[in-house]
């Protein structure tokens, strides 16, 4: 029941399920070193999604803009190392979707609670648009919004469940996308939250 969303975008249903115990252990390590926090957008809004990072580069935003940094601005320490299981899962998923040799250097970890949302945006802060982006969903289901190359293009709604992995590349890399406000449908393992890992080659 894998699903093609575009010329170079694929949903791999349940692809991460075998790795869930490892992923959940790894999150504990990451959030102990670099806790989840609500960042402020350049326009002054505080994000409803809480985030942290692991890997050589981490995505951050503040009043001055978005950027990737090697150091967690809250702790002054480098972002936690990307666990081996993460890198293997990301490159395995990329390969399953037709992208060989994906070596992510950044993993953004988003935590959604009921009501959290991500408004329509493009991911344009990475140096290299050739590499795909791999996204892993855990916990409560979400409705992903998959748009076009212009903000006003039609939007397809894609339900994402615990263990689903999505890979986006080349022609679909710069599409507008977002996440609808989360409904509270508690998950047996994670309770009332959704965790999303987004793997990128940022540097
Ligand atoms: C589609 N996060 O952090 S990941 C983000 O579920 C972000 O937390 C969402 O969008 C989340 O920037 C979705 C999936 C994603 C990432 C990049 C894309 C989807 C994409 C680039 C192009 C098209
Ligand atoms: Fe995004």
Distance from the alpha carbon of residue 118 to the mean position of ligand 1, in angstroms? 9
Query: Tokens 């666990």 map to which residue?
Result: 83
Taking a 5 Å cut-off on Cβ, the residues next to ion ligand 2 are 123
Average pLDDT over residues 103-130: 94
Burial of 9 from C-beta contacts in 10 A (0-12 / 13-18 / 19+): buried
Nearest alpha carbon to residue 11 among 174, 156, 160? 160
Q: Give per-residue pLDDT as tens, 183-203.
A: 999 999 999 999 999 999 999
Is the ipTM higher than 0.85? The answer is yes
Among residues 88, 115, 118, 116, the alpha carbon closest in space to that of 104 is found at: 88
Q: Name the closest-CA residue to atom 3, ligand 1.
A: 198
Q: Tell whether ligand 1 has an atom less than 6 A from the beta carbon of residue 162.
A: no
Ligand located closest to 175 CA: 1
CB of residue 53 inside a 6 A radius of ligand 1: no
126 lines ligand 1 (CB under 6 A): no
Higher-confidence residue of 100 and 126: namely 100
Q: In this structure, which ligand is nearest to the CA of 148?
A: 1
Residue 126 has pLDDT above 90, yes or no: no
- Can you give the pLDDT at residue 196? 98
| Structure tokens given for 117 | 């949302």
Provide the mean pLDDT of the chain. 96
Confidence tier at 152 by pLDDT (50, 70, 90):
very high
Distance between CA atoms of 72 and 79, rounded to whole angstroms?
5
The pTM for the full model equals 0.96
How far, in Å, CA of 96 to CA of 15, rounded?
10
CATH topology for 3-200?
A: Jelly Rolls (2.60.120)
Query: Ligand 1: which of 198, 200, 202 to mutate, judged by most atoms within 8 Å of the beta carbon?
Result: 198
Q: Write out the chain in H/E/C secondary structure.
A: CCEEEECCEEEECCCCHHHHHHHHHHHHHHHHHCCCECCECCCCCECCCEEEEECCEEEEEECCEEEEECECCCCCCECCCCCHHHHHHHHHHHHHCCCCCCCCCEEEEEEECCCCCEEEECCCCCCCCCCCEEEEEEECCEEEEECCCCCCCCCEEEEECCCCEEEECHHHCCCCEEECCCCCCCECCCECCEEEEEEECCC
């Amino acid at each position: 029941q894998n699903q093609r969303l575009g010329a170079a975008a694929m949903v791999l249903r349940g692809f991460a399920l075998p790795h869930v115990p490892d992923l959940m252990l790894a999150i504990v390590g990451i959030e102990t070193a670099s806790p989840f926090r609500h960042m402020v957008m350049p326009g002054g809004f505080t994000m409803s999604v809480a985030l942290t990072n692991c890997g050589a580069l981490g995505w951050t935003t503040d009043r001055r803009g978005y950027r990737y940094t090697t150091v967690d601005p809250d702790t002054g320490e480098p972002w936690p190392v990307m666990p081996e299981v993460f890198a293997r899962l990301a490159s395995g998923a990329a390969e399953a979707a037709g992208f060989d040799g994906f070596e992510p250097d950044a993993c953004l970890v988003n935590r959604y609670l009921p009501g959290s949302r991500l408004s329509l945006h493009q991911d344009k802060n990475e140096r290299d648009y050739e590499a795909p982006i791999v996204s892993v969903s855990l916990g409560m289901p979400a409705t992903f919004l998959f748009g076009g190359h212009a903000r006003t293009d039609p939007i397809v709604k894609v339900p994402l469940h615990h263990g689903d992995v999505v890979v986006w590349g080349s022609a679909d890399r710069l599409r507008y996308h977002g996440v609808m406000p989360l409904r509270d449908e508690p998950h047996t393992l994670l309770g009332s939250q959704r965790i999303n890992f987004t793997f990128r080659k940022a540097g």
